[in-house]
């Protein structure tokens, strides 16, 4: 049976990762560690003998740079790289820029987990008064999208992410996979979760438990119908990957001994 390889990568660390803030559609660059993570991805992919024919990324610099570094690192800087806002991170709405641990103190860990991982829970929407509204919604990269500026999301559940992602998946990525090509998608924690949910048929309830580590190639073999063959694989050291997933999950825990603090934006 012929298969093709799909590699999904959640970009590496950005400067807000350390500050534990929701970055979402804010165009924070990769940190030096994030660049090193992308280079490590390329070494893992080269060692696994994986080569690409087509590549896709979101419109956010951290995912684009990750794709560049991976393609350069595997000696394939020539592979065509297409971009779409439809692969962007989930729009975290009014939560953009806020600290997850502080939110857990003020709203409870369960609420933060639901905002981050539940399928159908939308964050409160961003409005014009939000400190990052103009930076995001006024950005010229969204002026030439396939939807008018006014239709760009203002806060998304994972379901919303999957719904806005699917037209690009079906229209641009699926044709490459159907043609038997190996494809790299450099995206974000929640856009990668949405693609995996779609491909593997993960239930709305079970997707709560899927967290994607940063800077780890997630490899799927797909048959002619684009159904996964075998289990998805994470390239790299299993214990390190488990620790990386735990670190991301723990971002939403309230620090012990700290107390809730009122915030003018409801954080």
Q: Which of 24, 57, 58, 84 binds ligand 3PG (CB under 6 A)?
A: 24
**Distances from the Cα of 205 to the Cα of 195, 211, 224, angstroms:** 16, 14, 28
Q: Which is nearer to ligand 3PG, 101 or 177 (CB)?
A: 101
| Residue number closest to ligand 3PG, CB atom | 23
| Binding-residue total with ligand 3PG (CB under 6 A) | 10
- Write down the least CB distance from residue 100 to ligand 3PG, Å: 6
189 binds ligand 3PG, rule: CB under 6 A:
yes
**Distances from the Cα of 67 to the Cα of 49, 91, 245, angstroms:** 17, 21, 21
Q: What is the DSSP letter of 14?
A: B
Q: Which of 81, 152, 248, 260 binds ligand 3PG (CB under 6 A)?
A: 248
Neighbours of 165 (CB within 10 A): 23
Residues in contact with 152: Cβ distance below 8 Å, sequence separation at least 6, in sequence order: 85, 137, 142, 145
Binding-site string for ligand 3PG from residue 81 to residue 100, where x marks contact by CB under 6 A and - marks none: --------x--x--------
Give yes or no for a contact between 160 and 199, defined as CB atoms under 8 angstroms apart.
Answer: no
102 binds ligand 3PG, rule: CB under 6 A:
no
Binding-site string for ligand 3PG from residue 140 to residue 169, where x marks contact by CB under 6 A and - marks none: ------------------------------
- Write down the least CB distance from residue 209 to ligand 3PG, Å: 13
Q: Which is nearer to ligand 3PG, 52 or 92 (CB)?
A: 92
**CA-wise closest residue to 251 among 91, 117, 93, 66:** 117
Give ∠ CA 68-71-77 in degrees, rounded to 5.
Answer: 85
- Write down the least CB distance from residue 98 to ligand 3PG, Å: 10
197 binds ligand 3PG, rule: CB under 6 A:
no
Neighbours of 209 (CB within 10 A): 9
Q: Which is nearer to ligand 3PG, 53 or 160 (CB)?
A: 160
Q: Which is nearer to ligand 3PG, 232 or 253 (CB)?
A: 253
Give ∠ CA 157-160-162 in degrees, rounded to 5.
Answer: 115
Residues in contact with 20: Cβ distance below 8 Å, sequence separation at least 6, in sequence order: 99, 100, 101, 251
Binding segment toward ligand 3PG, per CB under 6 A, in 19-27, 66-74, 76-84, 199-207: 19-27
As a whole number of angstroms, the distance between CA 21 and CA 238 comes to: 27
The contact set with ligand 3PG (CB under 6 A) reads 22-24, 89, 92, 116, 188-190, 248
């Amino acid at each position: 049976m012929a298969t093709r390889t799909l590699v999904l990568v959640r970009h590496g660390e950005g400067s807000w990762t350390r500050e534990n803030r929701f970055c979402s559609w804010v165009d924070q660059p990769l940190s030096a560690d994030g660049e090193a993570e992308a280079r490590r991805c390329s070494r893992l992919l080269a060692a696994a003998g994986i080569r690409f024919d087509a590549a896709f990324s979101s419109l956010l610099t951290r995912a684009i740079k990750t794709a560049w570094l991976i393609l350069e690192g595997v000696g394939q800087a020539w592979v065509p790289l297409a971009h779409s806002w439809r692969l962007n991170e989930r729009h975290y709405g009014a939560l953009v820029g806020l600290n997850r641990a502080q939110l857990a103190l003020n709203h409870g860990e369960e609420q933060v987990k639901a905002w981050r991982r539940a399928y159908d829970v939308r964050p409160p929407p961003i409005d014009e008064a939000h400190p990052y509204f103009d930076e995001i919604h006024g950005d010229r990269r969204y002026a030439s999208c396939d939807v008018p500026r006014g239709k760009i999301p203002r806060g998304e559940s994972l379901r919303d992410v999957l719904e806005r992602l699917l037209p690009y998946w079906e229209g641009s990525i699926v044709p490459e996979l159907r043609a038997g090509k190996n494809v790299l998608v450099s995206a974000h924690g929640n856009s990668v979760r949405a693609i995996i949910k779609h491909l593997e048929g993960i239930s709305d309830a079970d997707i709560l438990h899927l967290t994607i580590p940063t800077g780890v190639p997630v490899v799927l073999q797909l048959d002619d119908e684009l159904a996964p063959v075998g289990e998805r694989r994470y390239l790299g050291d299993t214990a390190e990957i488990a620790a990386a997933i735990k670190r991301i999950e723990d971002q939403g825990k309230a620090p012990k001994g700290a107390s809730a603090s009122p915030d003018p934006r409801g954080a």
